[in-house]
Amino acid sequence: MKTVNILIEALPYIKKFHKKKILIKYGGHAMIDENAMESTARDTVLLKYVGMEPIVVHGGGPEISRSMNKMGKEPQFIEGLRITDEETMEIVKMVLVGKINTTIVSKICLHGGRGIGLSGKDSRLIMARKKDPHVITNRETGEKKHVDLGLVGEIESVNPEVIEMLTENNYIPIISPIGVDENARTLNLNADTVAGEIASRVDAEKLIILTDVPGILEDPANPDTLIKKINISEVGELVKSGIITEGMLPKTMTCAQALQDGVKSAHIIDGRIQHSILLEIFTKKGIGTMISK
C-alpha cells in the first residue's frame, strides 16, 4: 500500500517534468564509489522511463590525477586549474572518454537505459578555444606572474543537434567535458561549465549538479545549515557575505548563468547520498539547494 501511495505522490512531478530535459552533472563521490555510481545510474534510467529526458555530463578530476601518477607524471595545478600539457591532455582524454564515460554508459545500460557516450569532439559537439595566458597576482606577496595553463579551453559554442537526435530516439547521452578547436586540437574543459552550457542550449528544465557536500551551507562546517532554496537575485549577496565561496562559487555561478540562459531551476545536491537525484526531484523538500529565478 505504501508503495502505491508513494507512486501517487510522485505523479505531480512526473507530470510536471514530462518530456523535459534534465541535465545531470555527475561529480564528486558519485563518480568514485561503485555503489553510488550504481545508484546514480539507476536514478537516471528511472527518470527516462517515467518520461523525462536525462542528459549526463561527468567530471573526473581525481581519477585523472590517479592515472597520471600511475604513469609517472605529476599533476600540477595553478589556483585549482590543472596545467595541461599535451601529454596530460592525452591522459585526460583517455581517462574521461575511455574509462569514466564507458563505465557510466555500462551502468546506464545495465539498468535498462540506452546510454551513448559522447565527448565534445564528436561531430564537434563542443567548440572551444585555448584560454589565453593571463596574469595572476599572489594575494600575499603581491607578486604577479604570467600563467599559461596549456590545453585548457573556454567554450565557444555548443552544437546540440547530436544530443537532440539521441534524446528523441530514446537514448541517454553521456558527455565527457573535453572540447575541440578549429584545428581539431583537444582542449580540457571544466565539467560544471560544460553541464551549464549544454543545459542552456538544449532548453533543459533542470540542471542538477552532484557534489560531495549537502548543497550551499550557511556555515560550510555545519551540514545542518543547508540553504534549501535561493533566488538568483540573492546570489550576489551570498557571495559578498562569504557564504558562497571556494569550490561552491564557480558551481553557483554556472547555475546562475544557466538560469539566465533559460534553464528553469538549478540544483546543487549531495551525490554521496543514495538516490539523491530522485529525492531532489520527487520530494517536496528536496535534499540540496535549489536555485531559481
Residues that bind its own copies (CB under 8 A): 1-11, 14-15, 18, 42-43, 45-46, 49-51, 70-71, 90, 93-99, 101-102, 105-107, 109-112, 114-119, 121-124, 162, 165, 169, 171, 180, 183-184, 186, 274-275, 278-279, 282-283
Which residue ranges make up the annotated binding site for substrate?
A: 60-61, 82, 188
- Give whichever of 100 and 259 is closer to its own copies, judged by the CB atom: 100
CB of 177 to its own copies, least distance (A): 13
Which residue ranges make up the annotated binding site?
A: 60-61, 82, 188
- Give whichever of 95 and 208 is closer to its own copies, judged by the CB atom: 95
Give the strands of the sheet with 115-119, arranged side by side. 115-119, 172-176, 53-58, 21-26, 206-211, 265-270, 289-292, 229-231
Burial class (CB in 10 A: 0-12, 13-18, 19+), 123: exposed
- Give whichever of 61 and 115 is closer to its own copies, judged by the CB atom: 115
Sole residue written with cell 528553469:
264
- Give whichever of 93 and 264 is closer to its own copies, judged by the CB atom: 93
Please choose, from the candidates 23, 10, 2, the residue with its C-alpha nearest in 3D space to the C-alpha of residue 50: 10
CB of 111 to its own copies, least distance (A): 8
CB of 184 to its own copies, least distance (A): 4
Residue 206 pairs with which residues in a beta bridge? 22, 265
CB of 31 to its own copies, least distance (A): 16
| Rg for the chain, CA atoms, rounded | 19
Give the strands of the sheet with 186-188, arranged side by side. 153-158, 126-130, 178-180, 186-188
CB of 150 to its own copies, least distance (A): 18
- Give whichever of 26 and 171 is closer to its own copies, judged by the CB atom: 171
